[in-house]
């Protein structure tokens, strides 16, 4: 199974020149994993920043995600080809199903098989899922096999630890990527994270990222500021003690930030 770089650059909510600058700066600082999606409406700008960066293609790891409207067997491949065109790439490294089909209108088997076919055609090196419940993940495994699912990307931060889903995902041998790892900056205000950060001469954001990285998850924080991008990258060298990890485990309050009306019934 391919290695997904542990720290990636998220691009959710970033548009136009803002995303071009964010990706360009990130690549300058040493990020080699860039995460985008069809619905972010920024694949063209991400592609522009990658093309201008002169980072050799083989050193980059690019992820995109198929939006719910393109999940049908007749639409998925064409939508991924459009993404590649916008990104100015012949192939992405990882393509995820962004959300399960709303109301399960399209069966999981149909879009997982279509995604596997797109991989067989060389459009993507690996495939995976995002925002899948245990039930959806079970169906995805039945469709293509657990060893074919490179990652499950889910919201994960100290205030939403998603333990039931994480435990099931990991028990199947499937890697986890944590999105919104900083809970839109809410981690900065938490007294427990502030206290741990102080002990390490670090920031609460670095502590939140280190906590996820130490569990073996990949993280994709997004930032438009060079100093924050640099600081997030440095979280990889921060080691937290068992007591500190336990203190962070105690912060879980099931606070879900990504919960659109079409979201599945969460575990």
Active-site positions? 40
185 dihedral zone (left: phi>0; alpha: psi -120 to 50; beta): left
Query: b/e for 199-216, b at 16 or more Cβ within 10 A?
Result: eeebbbbbbbbbbbbeee
Residue 259 phi, psi (nearest 5): -145, 65
Rounded to whole angstroms, the Cα distance separating 255 from 189 reads: 15
174 dihedral zone (left: phi>0; alpha: psi -120 to 50; beta): beta
The three-state secondary structure class of 165 is helix
Does the annotation place 98 within a ligand binding site?
Answer: yes
Task: Give 113: exposed, middle or buried? Use CB within 10 Å, 0-12, 13-18, 19+.
Answer: middle
Binding-site sequence positions for substrate: 98
Binding-site sequence positions: 98
């Amino acid at each position: 199974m391919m290695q997904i770089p542990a720290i990636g650059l998220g691009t959710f909510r970033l548009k136009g020149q803002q995303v071009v600058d964010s990706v360009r700066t990130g690549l300058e600082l040493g990020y080699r994993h860039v995460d985008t999606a069809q619905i972010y409406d920024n694949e063209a700008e991400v592609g522009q920043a990658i093309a201008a960066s002169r980072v050799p293609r083989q050193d980059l790891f690019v992820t995109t995600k198929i939006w719910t409207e393109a999940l049908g067997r007749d639409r998925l491949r064409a939508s991924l080809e459009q993404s590649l065109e916008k990104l100015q790439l012949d192939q992405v490294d990882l393509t995820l199903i962004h959300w399960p089909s709303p109301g399960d209108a399209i069966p999981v088997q149909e879009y997982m098989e279509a995604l596997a076919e797109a991989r067989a055609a060389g459009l993507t090196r690996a495939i995976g899922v995002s925002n899948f419940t245990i039930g959806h993940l079970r169906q995805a495994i039945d469709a293509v096999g657990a060893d074919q699912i490179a990652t499950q990307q889910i919201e994960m931060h100290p205030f939403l630890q998603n333990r039931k889903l994480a435990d099931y995902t990991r028990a199947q041998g499937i890697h986890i990527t944590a999105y919104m790892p900083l809970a839109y900056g809410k981690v900065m205000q938490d007294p427990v994270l502030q206290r741990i950060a102080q002990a390490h001469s670090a920031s609460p954001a670095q502590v939140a990222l280190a906590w996820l990285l130490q569990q073996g998850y990949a993280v994709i924080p997004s930032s438009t500021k060079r100093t924050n991008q640099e600081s997030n990258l440095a979280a990889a060298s921060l080691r937290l003690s068992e007591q500190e990890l336990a203190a962070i485990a105690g912060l879980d309050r099931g606070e879900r930030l990504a919960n659109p009306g079409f979201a599945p019934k969460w575990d």
